[in-house]
Structure 1
Amino acid sequence: MSAPVDLAHAPAAPTRSTGAPDPQWLAELHDDVVATSGETRTVLAPATGEPLHELPLSTPDDVADAFARTRLAHLAWARAGFAHRRKVLLRAHDLIVARREQFIDLVRIETGKSRGQAFEEVYQAAAAARYNALAARSVLRSRRVHSGAPTVIDARVRYRPRGVAGVITPWNFPLSLAAMDVMPALAAGCGVVQKADEQAALNILELRRALVDAGLPGDLWAVVTGDGATIGEAVTDRADVIAFTGSTATGRRIAAKAAERLVPASLELGGKNPLIVLDDVDPERAARQAAYACYSSMGQLCVSPERIYVQRGVADAFTEALVRTIEGLVIDPSPRSTGDVGTLTSHAQLDRVRGHLDDALAKGATVLAGGVHRPDLGPYAFEPTLLADVSPDMACFAEETFGAIVAISVVDDDDEAVLAANAGDYGLNAVVLSGSVPRARRVAAALETGSVNINEGYRGSFSSIAAPMGGSKQSGLGRRNGPDGLKRYVESVTIAAANGPIAPPNSAREWRRLEQPMLLLLRAQRALRRR
C-alpha cells in the first residue's frame, strides 16, 4: 500500500463561481513551464471566447535545457527501481482522485466539455497511474527464457529504459491522453519532455503538479509550449523515444524524422470511424448509444464515429429514434452546466465543422438533425448534426471532420456493412450495435481497426488500460496502454551466458563431435514442443 497522501499543500482550485482560474494558482502553474522567451500566447475560453490566461511560450533553447535536466534526473529515477516508482505513481493516483473537482473544472474551462465527459478524463488519468504503477514490474522484470542449447547456454532478457521520452499530446483529451503516455514512461524508468498544446496546457501542468506532490522529481517531467513546427520538432529531434497523438499529416512527418534518427515512435493519428447498426437492435436503445458515441466531446475525439451504417430492416425506426435523441440533447457550454454536451473548442474547430457542412449541403446532402451554429449559447456552440445522402465527392465522406457531424447510410446485410466500414484510409476504432453479442463479435472480427466496441461507442476499449490502443492503416503505428504501452519505452536486452557443463564448440573437431548430439537435441525439443 502507498503512504497516505498529504493534501495540505494542494494548490487552489479554479474559482467555483465563475470557472475562472485562481490568479495565484495560475501564476504558480505558469512557473512550471520551461520558458524563458518572455513571450506569451492568449488562450481563449471555449464557453465565452474571452481570454482565459496568458500562457508562457518556450524556445528551442528551452527545449534543449529541458532535455539536459531531464536526462540527469532520469539516471537516478531509473536506478530507484520499480518499488519506488510504484509508490510515487500510486500516490499520484490518490491525488488525482482527491483533486477530481479541480481537474473536472480545468477540463471544462479549457475544452468546453460537459461535466460527465470531463469526469471521464479524470477517471482515465487515475486508472493510467494505477495500472502502470502495478503492472510495470511484472511486464518489465528480467526473466529467463529458453535458450537454443539448454544446459549449455543460460539466456535472460532484461529491459532498459530508453532515456527521455518526447511526448506530444493534443488539446481534445488533455488529461487522459497525457496520463496514458506519461505514466508508462515514468513507470518504465524514463524521463519525459512533453510539448503541451496551448489550448489545454493547464491540465497537463496540473497533472504534473500532482505527480511532483506525490514524490516525482520536478526535473523528471518537463513541459514546454509553442508552435508545433518549432517546439514540437525540437522535442522530436532530441527524444530517445517519441509518443505522438495528432493528425495523420503531422504523424507522417514525425515518423520520417524518427526514421532518420532511428528512434522508435508510437503514433496515434486520425480516424473516420464507422458505427454499424445490425437489424436485431432495440432502435431506441441503439439510438442513445449512437448519440453518445458520436457527440461526446462534440465529436472532437479521435475514436468518435463519424459514419453510421444501419441495416435496412431497422433503418427507419433507428433513424427516427436517433433524430429524436439528438434533438433532445441539452447544449450548455457554461462551466457550471449540467447539459448533455458542451461546445466546440475553438474558432478553428467551428470553421472546420461549418466548412464540411456547407460543402455537403452544396453537393446534395440532407440535414436530418442539427446543422445550426448557436452563438446564443456560446461562440463555438454548434448543434450535433446528422446528415443523409452523403456522397464520395463531399469532404465529410472520407475526411475526418473531428466535430459534431455524422453521416448515416443504409446497408442490406452484415457483409455490406463490413465492406463499407473497411473502406477508406483509416482504421482506428469501430462500433457494432446488436442485440446479439456473438453476432456482433463475428462482425467485429472482420473490421480493420485497432479497436472495436460492441454496444458502446469508445469507452469500453478506451477505458481498458490493460489492453493496447492504437490504429491500423493511416491511423497510426504502435500502441499505448497495456504491456505494449510500457514496452515502447524500453529496449529489450538479451544476456546469454555459457555456464553449463558442456562448452559450446570452438574448433572444427569440437563441431564434428557435437553435431549429432545437437541434431538429437533439436528433434527432442520438437517432440516435446519446446519453444
Structure 2
Amino acid sequence: MATMFSTQAAATAEIVSYDPATGEEIGRAPIAPAAEVRRAVARAREAQGEWAARSFAERGRVALRAREIVLAEMDQIASLISRESGKPVAEALAMELVPTLDLMRYFAHSAGRLLKPEKLDLGQYNLMGRSSEIVYRPLGVIGIISPWNFPWAIPLGEVVMALMAGNGVVLKPSELTPLTGLKLGEVFARAGLPEGLFVVVTGAGPTGAALVEAGVDKIMFTGSVTTGRCVAEAAARQLIPCVLELGGKDPMLVLEDADLEAAARAAVWGAFANSGQACASVERCYVHESIAAKFTARVVEITRQLKQDVGTREGTDVGAMSSERQLCIVEDHVRDAVGRGAQVLIGGGRGAAGQLFHQPTVLAGVDHSMAVMREETFGPVLPLMTFETEDEAIRLANDSPY
C-alpha cells in the first residue's frame, strides 16, 4: 500500500485528507487530544443553556439560514464530499445534499409540534383532578461520531435534530473525511449559531474514544460492529444513552413474478451506489430459479454499462472506494468466493481508473459457506444465489448474524 494513502501525518499532530481516487492531498486537520475534547464539551455545555431557552421558532431560523448557505454552495460542498469520500458528485448531490435540505426544512418547521408536551389519559384518576403529561427537555450536550461513507448526510441530520431539541453538539467526523465535518461546522457558524454550541473535533479513534468519556449526555455513533461494541461499553460505564447504527448484510429477494427490468436495475443500484459502501446496500441477492438466467443476464448487461471513474468527472456512475483497508476486505471476499467455486460474471478486481477502485462485480454460484454471503462486504459486489420456494428464500435471508 502506498504511503500517500496514510490518513495521519507521521511527524505532526494532523490528519491528512487525501482524495482516494487520485491520491492527491486535499487538506489537513488537527488531531484533537483528550483535553481538547473535554474543553469542547465544556464550551458546548456553557452555550447550551441560553440556546435551550430560545423558542423553537428562533432555533428554526438558524437552521433555515444554514440551509440557505448550503443551497448557495451546493456544488462546492458536493465536490468536497466527492474528493474526500471518492463518490461521484452526482451521488453527493442526490444522496447527501438534497435529502438533508429537506430534513433541515422539516425539523426547522416541525420540531415544536413533534416535541410539544403530551397529555396522558389517567382513566378514572382524571375524575379526581389528577393529570399527567410527558414533557420533552433537552438532554444537554450530544456527542456524535460520524462515518466516512456519508460524511455530510449522517452527521448533518443528527446535528440538526439535536440543535432543534435545544442541545449542544460536539461532532467527531471520520478521520477519512475531516474536512467535510469541518465544513459542516463552518456552515452553522456562519448561520449565526451561538459560539461554542456546536464544536467539531477532528482526529482518529482516540479522539472518538475521548468524546465518549468527556462528559456528554448522549452518544450517536455510526460505524462498524466492533467499534460500536466499544462505544456501547464506554457509554454504559458513563451511564449515558447511546444510539448505534452499525453493520448489516442486507438481502434482496427476487420472486418469480417480479418485474425483471425493475428488479435488475434496483439490484444494480442497491449494490453499487456509493461503491457499495452503505449500511443499506444490497449485499446478497436471492433469485427464484425460474427467472434466474434472465435476471442475471440483465444485471450483468446493466453493470457493463456503468462508467467507473474519478468522482469529480462528469458522467461517473461508480467512484473510488474510500480506503485501502476497505478495498482489501472486498478483495478478500471475492477471492474467498472464487476459491470456493463462485464464478465472476463481470468485474472481479481492481479498476483501471486508479489505485482505490474496485470494479462493480457480479458473482454467481455462491453459497453460505462463503464470506461474501455472511460477512459485511461493504463494497461493489453483488452475489446472486437461487432458491426454489419463498420459504427457502426467507430462510436464506434470515441466515445471517446481522
- TM-score with structure 2 length normalisation? 0.93
Q: What corresponds to 1:377 in structure 2?
A: 353
Is the 1:96–1:125 contact (alpha carbons within 8 Å) kept by the matching residues of 2? no
Are 1:314 and 2:288 counterparts? Answer: no
Q: What's the CA shift string for 1:365-424, capped at 9, x where partnerless?
A: 2111111212x3111111101112223332222110111112110112322222211221
TM-aligned CA deviation for residue 82 of structure 1: 0.9
User: Which residue of structure 2 aligns with residue 254 of structure 1?
Assistant: 231
Matched, 1:64 2:38: yes
- For residue 137 of structure 2, give the secondary structure of its aligned residue in structure 1: strand
Offset at 1:334?
Answer: 4.6
Cα deviation, 1:295-340, whole Å, max 9, x if unaligned, reads 0000011110110011122111100000111111111115233211
- Unpaired runs of at least 5, structure 2: 1-10
- Please give the alpha-carbon distance, in whole angstroms, between the structure 2 residues aligned to 1:58 and 1:301: 27
Partner of 2:184: 207
1:93 corresponding residue in structure 2? 67
**Can you list the C-alpha shifts for 1:108-160, whole angstroms capped at 9, x where unaligned?**
11111112211120012212212221221111112332235114212222111
> Would the aligned equivalents of 1:38 and 1:57 in 2 still touch at CA under 8 Å?
no
Moved more, 301-310 or 233-242: 233-242
Contact 2:289 2:386 in 1 (8 A): yes
CA distance in 1, matches of 2:78, 2:372: 32
Counterpart secondary structure, 2:247: coil
Select which of 225, 238, 257 maps to 1:280.
257
1:184 alignment counterpart: 161
Aligned residue among 99, 102, 112 for 1:124 = 99
2:5 match: none
Q: 1:398 aligns with which of 365, 374, 384?
A: 374
- The two structures, once aligned, show a CA RMSD in angstroms of 1.6
Code of the residue aligned with 1:113 in structure 2: it is: K
Q: Residue 128 of structure 1 contacts residue 179 of structure 1 at CA under 8 Å; is this kept in 2?
A: no
- In 1, the alpha carbon distance for the partners of 2:112 and 2:311 equals 43
Matched, 1:147 2:122: yes
Q: CA offsets per residue over residues 236-271 of structure 1, 9 Å max, x none?
A: 112201111001111112112222222111110001
Deviation at 1:94, TM superposition (A): 2.1
Distance of 2:195 and 2:149 partners within structure 1: 26
CA contact (8 A) 1:115 1:338 kept: no
Task: Judge conservation of contact 2:17–2:179 (CA < 8 Å) in 1.
Answer: no
Amino acid at match of 1:55: A
- Aligned match for 1:51, one of 17, 21, 25: 25
> Given the superposition, is the C-alpha separation of residues 267 and 334 from structure 1 closer, same or farther in structure 2, using an over 3 Å criterion?
closer
1:169 maps to 146
Q: Give the drift of 1:213.
A: 1.7
- Other structure's SS at 1:387 match: strand
Distance in 2 (CA, whole Å) between partners of 1:54 and 1:90 is 29
Q: Equivalents in 2 of 1:146, 1:88: separation in Å?
A: 36
Q: Which residue of 1 aligns with 2:388?
A: 412
| Separation in 2, partners of 1:358, 1:416 | 27
Q: Is the 8 A contact 1:300 1:404 kept in 2?
A: yes
Q: Counterparts of 1:73 and 1:303 in 2: how far apart (Å)?
A: 36
1:223 paired to 2:200: yes
Instruction: Give the drift of 1:38.
Output: 6.3
Q: Contact conserved, 2:144 with 2:170, CA < 8 A, in 1?
A: yes
* CA radius of gyration, larger in: 1
- Check conservation: 1:294, 1:306, Cα contact below 8 A: yes
Q: Percent identity?
A: 39
Q: Which amino acid aligns with 1:66?
A: A
> Among 240, 264, 270, which residue is 1:263 paired with?
240
Match of 1:499 in 2: none
Cα contact 2:367–2:385 (8 A) shared by 1? no
Q: Which runs of 5+ in 1 are unaligned?
A: 1-36, 427-531
Number of residue pairs aligned between Structure 1 and Structure 2:
388
The question of whether the paired residues in 1 share the 8 Å contact of 2:89 and 2:311 is answered with no
CA distance in 2, matches of 1:53, 1:315: 47
Taking the aligned partners of 1:334 and 1:104, their CA distance within structure 2 comes to: 10
8 A Cα contact 1:47 1:335, kept in partner: no
**Structure 2 Cα separation of the partners of residues 184 and 402 of structure 1:** 27
- Alignment-mate amino acid for residue 219 of structure 2: I
Which of 227, 230, 236 aligns to 2:212? It is: 236
Q: Does 1:345 align with 2:300?
A: no
State how far apart, in whole Å, the 2-side matches of 1:109 and 1:218 are.
29
